[in-house]
């Protein structure tokens, strides 16, 4: 299966640190969000694409494993990888590295499902999502 991976650099800002001088743990979930947005820009599937198609994709599961803290002044590299599934959901895996040392700081994953604009669960791939998967070779023509 073809791998779709996006990488972006993010500076660690002072406001993202806790009193111990390390990135506050909740900010890594924001970094995951930055990764998803960058992935969408690179691969042509943004949050606005969902909205334009009357679809929402709320996160229903997220995990984060902390390995080594980032600190103010560090630059992180967020690696966001699309994980293939036949189910009507979107799964991403994340790895965040310290750019200067190359050390792995965090790993994680997220799962999103499809709903209509009223929040009703959709159990099949929306048409625009199927077209996107076909475009990137993530499924065979049916």
| Residue 11 · residue 71 · CB < 8 Å | no
Of the candidates 18, 49, 74, 116, the residue annotated as catalytic is: 18
Largest Cα span, the chain: 55
Pick from 80, 77, 89: which is nearest to 114 by CA? Answer: 89
Residue from 87, 85, 7 nearest 43 by CA: 7
Give the integer Cα–Cα distance in Å for 42 and 40: 6
Contacts of residue 28, Cβ cutoff 8 Å, sequence gap at least 6: 64, 66, 96, 106, 108
18 is a catalytic site residue: yes
Active site (catalytic) residues: 18
């Amino acid at each position: 299966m073809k791998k779709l991976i996006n990488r972006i650099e993010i500076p660690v800002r002072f406001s993202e640190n806790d009193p111990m001088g390390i990135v506050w743990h909740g900010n890594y979930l924001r970094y995951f969000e930055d990764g998803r947005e960058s992935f969408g820009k690179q691969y042509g599937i943004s949050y606005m694409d969902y909205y334009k198609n009357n679809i929402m994709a709320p996160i229903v599961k997220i995990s984060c494993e902390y390995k080594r803290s980032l600190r103010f002044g560090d630059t992180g590299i967020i690696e966001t990888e699309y994980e293939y599934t036949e189910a009507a959901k979107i799964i991403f895996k994340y790895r965040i590295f310290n750019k200067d040392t190359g050390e792995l700081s965090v790993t994680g994953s997220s799962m999103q499902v499809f709903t209509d604009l009223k929040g009703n669960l959709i159990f099949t791939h929306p048409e625009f999502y199927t077209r996107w998967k076909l475009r990137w070779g993530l499924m065979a023509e049916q």
